[in-house]
Structure 1
Amino acid sequence: MKHQPAVLIVEDEPAIAELIAVNLRHNGFRPTWAMDSDSAQRELDAVLPDLILLDWMLPGESGLTLAKRWRADARTKAVPIIMLTARGDEADRVAGLDAGADDYLVKPFSTKEMLARIRAVLRRRAPEQTGGAVTLGGLTLDTATHRVTFQEQPLKLGPTEFKLLQYLMSHAERVHSRGQLLDKVWGDHVFIEERTVDVHVKRLREALGDASVMVETVRGAGYRFTVQPVAAAVSLTGRD
């Protein structure tokens, strides 16, 4: 029997939640509904869904607060989150993505768009769930434990910086334009400006500390992960 992905809908408006649930059911998903932060937490405590559709404006704690909390929790940090909101400003979209959301749906949205984004997020997340670690130049990123270390020292990265580093390390030595990174890390349905990539690269470098030299800016082209600068730095410091 084909797996039916479970989707937790966190939405305080019953009419919207019911419409989403009906469309999900008709397209091979198993929806459950929570109308506020408390009931959403109870649903998550009971069983982890394959994906969460999370409304920004909720009674009690906001969707933004919930997303941050779930991303900080080891049990729920790998569950994909798509934010639902009437907020369409770029600053709000960036805030939602910074909180750990994988994608963003601005109301009103079509069923076709919703289903496309859900499937895209589940596809992007699938490789992560298989686990595995990548080690380059003394920097190790482990998707199973969501940990990053440099020369065996732990580093603290936000969820977006983790995904950005994971993509760069998985495609080391290749140059990626800002548009490509938006597509691969944030998803091709996220409409945010390319300069947002620069902000997250800056944060990533700050988090990497001494390992930051491996994230190179290629002028006029984009960014590249390379171990060459680290090797060169080590050889220079080793000379008399």
Structure 2
Amino acid sequence: MMRIAVLEEDTHQRVHLIKALSQQMVISDEHIAICTFDNGEALRRAIRVDTFDLLILDWIVPDLDGIDLLRWLRDSQKDTTPVLMLSAQGSERQVVQALDEGANDYVVKPFRTLELCARVRRLLKQRRDSTQAKAITQTPLQERYGAWLFDRGQLFVEFSARAGERAQKHCVTDREFRMALALFRHIGQPVSRSYLLEQSSYRGENLSSRALDSHIYRLRSKLGLHPANGIRLQTVYGQGYRLEWVRAEE
């Protein structure tokens, strides 16, 4: 599932945007979840504790304009989440300013639905490809991250704790597989609890936060996610979890 945050003050425009995305978006059979915000500060608070695959930002909104939020995202947070700017103003100066501040695309309102959705699909594909590109090797059904090999066809994880040893297949549930893959694809970055829950839950299911912690505990053990193996899975207070490479002697 891909998660989109929409910052739009005008209720009519917000409803129109959500309807357009919901009806027109098809990302290789991948579902999308849309979170909406009517002021910049509310979205900034959400970004501090949540994970999104795309941000759609209106330029002028209460509390914190979209362009200021974009500047904060790129300069202060060093966050590379794709951003599509929306604005009723289409002057060359504004477009250039948004791109210089780090926007990935710019759409002038009123937007054309099919064009907007095509731009969103392109940005989400780039996001998906960039996270998967962190894999050392990748085939249509396999992704390798260091000593960990994920096979999406047969849903197993292969891992060898020591160089030269034969890798062993580790049995994980479908839910654990998706949860672990989401962490590896975002290695080095905090991944929010809500993002992990959405990535590992079935449609219509509400997995509890306590259940998430239990799965994380089991994954640490099953996949050897410990500094002795050159990797660490740690809790990020108020947000979620972060998987990161470490030197074994740490």
Q: Distance in 2 between matches of 1:145 and 1:47?
A: 15
CA RMSD, aligned part only? 2.4
Residue 16 (1) aligns with residue 13 (2): yes
Check whether the contact 2:7–2:37 (CA below 8 A) recurs between aligned residues. Answer: yes
* Unpaired runs of at least 5, structure 2: 26-30, 137-186, 190-250
Offset, 1:29? 2.3
Between the aligned residues of both structures, percent identity stands at: 27
Q: How do residues 95-174 of structure 1 correspond to structure 2 at under 5 angstroms? A: 95-129=97-131, 130-131=133-134
Deviations 1:173-222 (A, max 9, x none): xxxxxxxxxxxxxxxxxxxxxxxxxxxxxxxxxxxxxxxxxxxxxxxxxx
Deviations 1:106-144 (A, max 9, x none): 0011111111000111223333333389xxxxxxxxxx8
Task: Quickly say closer, same or farther: Cα 1:37–1:25, change in 2 above 3 A.
Answer: same
Q: Distance in 2 between matches of 1:127 and 1:7?
A: 16
Q: Distance in 2 between matches of 1:57 and 1:125?
A: 25
Q: Distance in 2 between matches of 1:120 and 1:19?
A: 20
Name the structure 2 match of 1:221: none
Check whether the contact 1:82–1:104 (CA below 8 A) recurs between aligned residues. Answer: yes
Deviations 1:153-181 (A, max 9, x none): xxxxxxxxxxxxxxxxxxxxxxxxxxxxx
Check whether the contact 1:11–1:58 (CA below 8 A) recurs between aligned residues. Answer: yes
More RCO (CA 8 Å, sep 6+): 2
Name the structure 2 match of 1:152: none
* Unpaired runs of at least 5, structure 1: 134-143, 147-240
SS in 1 for 2:5: strand
Q: Distance in 1 between matches of 2:64 and 2:13?
A: 19
Name the structure 2 match of 1:6: 3
Structure 1 segments of 4+ aligned residues over 4 angstroms from their partners: none
Q: How do residues 1-240 of structure 1 correspond to structure 2 at under 5 angstroms? A: 3=1, 5-26=2-23, 27=25, 28-74=31-77, 77-129=79-131, 130-131=133-134
Q: Distance in 1 between matches of 2:47 and 2:17?
A: 19
Which of the pair is proportionally richer in helix? 1
Check whether the contact 1:68–1:100 (CA below 8 A) recurs between aligned residues. Answer: yes
Q: Distance in 2 between matches of 1:97 and 1:59?
A: 22
Name the structure 2 match of 1:225: none
SS in 1 for 2:35: strand
Check whether the contact 2:53–2:127 (CA below 8 A) recurs between aligned residues. Answer: no
SS in 1 for 2:79: coil
Check whether the contact 1:24–1:30 (CA below 8 A) recurs between aligned residues. Answer: no
